[in-house]
Chain A
Amino acid sequence: AQTVTQSQPEMSVQEAETVTLSCTYDTSESDYYLFWYKQPPSRQMILVIRQEAYKQQNATENRFSVNFQKAAKSFSLKISDSQLGDAAMYFCAYRSEFGNEKLTFGTGTRLTIIP
């Protein structure tokens, strides 16, 4: 079974600064997807960024980028130019390439933005 670990329960960053959230995972599969989801107080899970394991290039979406290290099974999220609206819980998630595509989540990191 796959597991996802987020070792930082809470993080904080000054507005406009950069912050990196950590995630490690364990799997015996070679093909899979990794995701970062944002959950604001509204509880709505919002997809921030995804990475296909077969792609060597790190995914980027505007101010969000990942550092994907497949051999180390590490998948960190970097948020640049942090904004007040980035404050939320962030969850790292894993999905197999095949099967029913259910997601396996980490326990989350609560990100606080300091004005």
Chain B
Amino acid sequence: GAGVSQSPSNKVTEKGKDVELRCDPISGHTALYWYRQSLGQGLEFLIYFQGNSAPDKSGLPSDRFSAERTGGSVSTLTIQRTQQEDSAVYLCASRSRPSGTYNEQFFGPGTRLTVL
């Protein structure tokens, strides 16, 4: 695809349910990031993938959050036993393998998660 895509665009779930959010990065991009944007807040970093490995998971807010990436491409962010405070927009970004001093992160349109 031409850009980063995310699905679903919107997700409404009930408290306590598990949800999976999907990110399809730009083809060939080896780095992938997940960010969370809560109401009235900026984006906060969640996790970084380089290929299929996640060397930085420091932003995951609790052990209910996990993410994986397969084939160096698609990534899935899973939230178990969702809570109302998990309601936010979850954004994914990808970046090409660095060949110079700067490589732009390209963002997807995000998934808006609402936990009732």
Binding site for A on B (CB under 8 A): 31, 33, 35, 40-45, 48, 50, 55-56, 59, 89, 91, 93, 95, 98, 101-105, 107-110, 112
- Taken residue by residue from 38 to 75, chain A's Cβ proximity to chain B (1 for < 8 Å, 0 otherwise) reads as 00001111010010100000000000000000000000
B107/A44 in contact, CB under 8 A: yes
**Is A100 at the interface (CB under 8 A from chain B)?**
yes
Binding site for B on A (CB under 8 A): 4, 6, 33, 42-45, 47, 50, 52, 91, 93, 97, 100-108
A43/B109 in contact, CB under 8 A: yes
Residues of A within 8 A of B45 (CB): 102-104
Residues of A within 8 A of B110 (CB): 43-44
A43/B89 in contact, CB under 8 A: yes
What total count of A-B pairs have CB within 8 Å? Answer: 55
Tell me if A's interface is mostly helix, strand, loop or mixed: loop
B48/A108 in contact, CB under 8 A: no
Given A43-B110, A45-B91, A91-B43: A100 and B55 interface contact (C-beta under 8 Å): yes
Shortest Cβ distance from B49 into chain A, in angstroms? 9
Query: Given A43-B110, A45-B107, A105-B43, 9 more contacts at CB 8 Å?
Result: A43-B89, A43-B112, A44-B107, A44-B109, A45-B93, A101-B98, A104-B45, A105-B35, A107-B41
Partner of A91, one of B42, B59, B102: B42
Shortest Cβ distance from A115 into chain B, in angstroms? 26
- Indicate the member of A4, A105, A106 with the most B CB atoms within 10 Å: A105
B103/A101 in contact, CB under 8 A: yes
Residues of A within 8 A of B109 (CB): 42-44
Given A45-B107, A52-B102: A102 and B42 interface contact (C-beta under 8 Å): no
A108/B103 in contact, CB under 8 A: no
Closest to A33 in B: B102
A101/B105 in contact, CB under 8 A: yes
